[in-house]
Amino acid sequence: MLSLWLRRLSTDRIARLREKSREQSAPLVVAGKRNNVEVLTAVDDAAERLGLLPGLTLAQARAMHPDIEAAPEDIDADAVLIESIADWCLRYTPLVACNTPDGLLLDISGCAHLYGGEHELVADLGSRLEDAGFAYSLAIAGTIGAAWAVSHHGKPASYACGEERALLTPLPLSALRLPPATIAGLARVGLKCIGDIVDLPRAPLTARFGPEVLRQLDRALGHEHEPLTPRLPVAPYAAEQRFAEPIAREEDVLAITERLARRLQFALERRGDGARRIELSLFRTDGVVRRIAAGTSRPLRNPGEIRALFVERLTALADVLDPGFGFDMARLSVVVAEPAPPEQIGIAGGEDAAELCRLVDRFSARLGARRVCRLAAQDSHIPELAEAALPAQAVNVDAGWDAFRRYRKEIELSPRPLRLLSRPEPIEAVAEVPDGPPLRFRWRRALHEVIAAEGPERIEGVWWSEHGGPARDYFRVEDKSGLRFWLFRAGLYRDLPQGAAAPSWFLHGTFA
Amino acid sequence: MIAQLRQRLLALQRAPGLRKGPGTLPLGIPAIDTMLGDGLMRGALHEISAPGEAHLAAVTGFALGLAALSAPSPRLVLIAEDMALAESGALHGAGLDAFGLAPERLVMVAVAHRRDLLWAMEEALRCRTVNAVIGEIRCGGIDSVAARRLSYAAAESGALALLLRASPSNDASTAATRWIVGTARSVGTHGPGAPRISAQLIRNRRGPVGSWILEWSDSDGQFILATLAQPVAAPTLDRPHRQVA
DSSP A253-267: HHHHHHHHHHHHHHH
- How far B191 CA lies from chain A's nearest CA (Å)? 5
Q: In angstroms, rounded to a whole number, what is the distance separating the alpha carbons of residues B164 and B117?
A: 12
Contact at CB, B89 and A509, closer than 8 angstroms: yes
Q: Which residues contact A223 (CB under 8 A, 6 or more apart)?
A: none
- How far A319 CA lies from chain B's nearest CA (Å)? 16
Sheet with A103-106, edge to edge strand ranges: A96-99, A103-106, A2-5, A137-140
What pLDDT is recorded for position B18?
47
**Would you say residue B229 has pLDDT above 70?**
no
Q: In angstroms, rounded to a whole number, what is the distance separating the alpha carbons of residues B172 and B150?
A: 14
Q: In angstroms, rounded to a whole number, what is the distance separating the alpha carbons of residues A2 and A146?
A: 10
The per-residue pLDDT for range B95-121, each reduced to its tens digit, is: 888 788 888 889 999 999 898 999 999
Q: Which of residues 26-85 of B touch A (CB under 8 A)?
A: 54-58, 60-62, 64, 75, 77, 85
What pLDDT is recorded for position B245?
45
Query: Could you list the pLDDT tens digit for every one of the 512 residues in chain A?
Result: 888 988 888 888 888 887 655 556 778 888 888 888 888 888 888 888 888 888 888 898 889 888 888 888 888 999 999 988 998 898 888 889 988 788 899 988 888 888 888 888 888 888 988 888 888 888 888 888 888 888 888 776 556 666 778 888 888 888 888 888 888 988 898 888 888 888 888 898 889 888 888 898 888 888 888 888 888 888 889 998 989 899 988 889 999 999 999 999 989 988 888 898 999 999 988 888 888 888 888 888 889 989 999 988 888 876 667 888 889 899 999 998 888 776 655 554 556 778 888 899 989 988 988 999 999 998 888 888 888 888 888 876 677 888 888 888 898 888 899 999 988 999 999 988 888 899 999 999 999 999 889 888 999 888 888 887 888 999 999 998 889 999 999 988 887 888 888 889 999 999 98
* Residue B204: other Cβ atoms inside 10 A: 21
Sign for the pseudo-dihedral over CA of A67, A73, A74, A75: positive
Pick from A430, A427, A437, A436: nearest CA to A509: A427
Q: In angstroms, rounded to a whole number, what is the distance separating the alpha carbons of residues A256 and A264?
A: 12
Name the helix (H) or strand (E) containing A186. Answer: helix A180-188
What pLDDT is recorded for position B237?
54
Q: Which residues contact A465 (CB under 8 A, 6 or more apart)?
A: none
DSSP characters for A417-482?
-SEEEEEEEEEEEEESSTTS-EEEEEETTEEEEEEEEEEEEEE---TTSTT----EEEEEEEETTS
| Mean predicted confidence (pLDDT) in B165-186 | 85
Mean pLDDT of chain B: 83
Cα angle value A199/A201/A205 (rounded, 5°): 105
Q: In angstroms, rounded to a whole number, what is the distance separating the alpha carbons of residues A76 and A81?
A: 9
Contact at CB, B123 and A478, closer than 8 angstroms: no
Residue B223 contacts A, CB cutoff 8 Å: no
What pLDDT is recorded for position B52?
87
- How far A352 CA lies from chain B's nearest CA (Å)? 6
Q: Which of residues 162-191 of B touch A (CB under 8 A)?
A: 182-186, 188-191
Q: Which residues contact B113 (CB under 8 A, 6 or more apart)?
A: B81
What pLDDT is recorded for position B175?
86
A228-256 b/e with 16+ CB inside 10 Å = b? eebebeebebbbbeeeeebbbeeebbbeb
Contact at CB, A511 and B92, closer than 8 angstroms: no
Chain B residues in contact with A417 (beta carbon < 8 A): 57, 89, 92, 95
* 3-state class (DSSP) for residue B11: helix
Closest by Cβ to A387, choosing from B61, B94, B109: B94
Task: Work out how many CB contacts closer than 8 A connect A with B.
Answer: 184
Task: Check residue B205 and give left, alpha or beta (phi > 0: left; psi -120 to 50: alpha).
Answer: alpha
Q: Which residues contact A166 (CB under 8 A, 6 or more apart)?
A: A160
**Which residue of B64, B107, B134, B215 is the best one to mutate when testing the A interface, meaning the one whose CB has the most A CBs within 10 A?**
B107
Which chain A residue has its CA at the smallest distance from B185's CA? A482
What pLDDT is recorded for position B15?
53
Residues forming a β-bridge with A458: A473
Q: Which residues contact A295 (CB under 8 A, 6 or more apart)?
A: A276, A277, A278, A361, A364, A365, A369, A393
Pick from A363, A420, A414, A427: nearest CA to A389: A420
Alpha-helix runs per DSSP H in chain B: 2-13, 30-36, 56-69, 82-88, 93-97, 114-126, 144-157
Strands A28-34 and A69-72: parallel
Residue B217 contacts A, CB cutoff 8 Å: no
What pLDDT is recorded for position A154?
73
Whole-number CA gyration radius for chain B: 18
Contact at CB, A356 and B196, closer than 8 angstroms: no
Pick from A258, A330, A331, A360: nearest CA to A301: A258
Chain A residues in contact with B103 (beta carbon < 8 A): 375, 377, 387, 399, 401
Contact at CB, B108 and A416, closer than 8 angstroms: no
Name the helix (H) or strand (E) containing B216. Answer: strand B210-217
Q: In angstroms, rounded to a whole number, what is the distance separating the alpha carbons of residues B111 and A470?
A: 35
Q: Which residues contact A286 (CB under 8 A, 6 or more apart)?
A: A132, A324, A325
Query: What global pTM score does this model have?
Result: 0.76
Whole-number CA gyration radius for chain A: 33
- CB distance A282 to A292 below 8 Å: yes
DSSP characters for A225-289?
------SSPPPSEEEEEEEEEEE--HHHHHHHHHHHHHHHHHHHHHHTEEEEEEEEEEEETTS-E
**Which residue of A359, A408, A425, A477 is the best one to mutate when testing the B interface, meaning the one whose CB has the most B CBs within 10 A?**
A359
| Mean predicted confidence (pLDDT) in B64-89 | 89
Q: In angstroms, rounded to a whole number, what is the distance separating the alpha carbons of residues A334 and A271?
A: 13
Secondary structure of A63-86 in HEC code, one letter for each residue: HHCCCCEEEECCHHHHHHHHHHHH
Strands A289-300 and A504-511: unpaired
Quote ipTM for the complex. 0.84
* Measured CA distances, A13 to A67, A126, A325 (Å): 21, 17, 21
Contact at CB, B127 and A359, closer than 8 angstroms: yes
Q: In angstroms, rounded to a whole number, what is the distance separating the alpha carbons of residues A347 and A17?
A: 60
Q: Which residues contact B114 (CB under 8 A, 6 or more apart)?
A: B81, B137, B140, B142
- CB distance A142 to A160 below 8 Å: yes
Residues forming a β-bridge with B25: B40
Which amino acid does the sequence have at A374?
R
Chain A residues in contact with B93 (beta carbon < 8 A): 375, 377, 387, 401, 404
Closest by Cβ to A356, choosing from B129, B185, B216: B129
Contact at CB, A419 and B88, closer than 8 angstroms: yes
What pLDDT is recorded for position B241?
53
Contact at CB, A367 and B185, closer than 8 angstroms: no
More confident of the two residues B4 and A342: B4
Q: Which residues contact A111 (CB under 8 A, 6 or more apart)?
A: A92, A93, A121
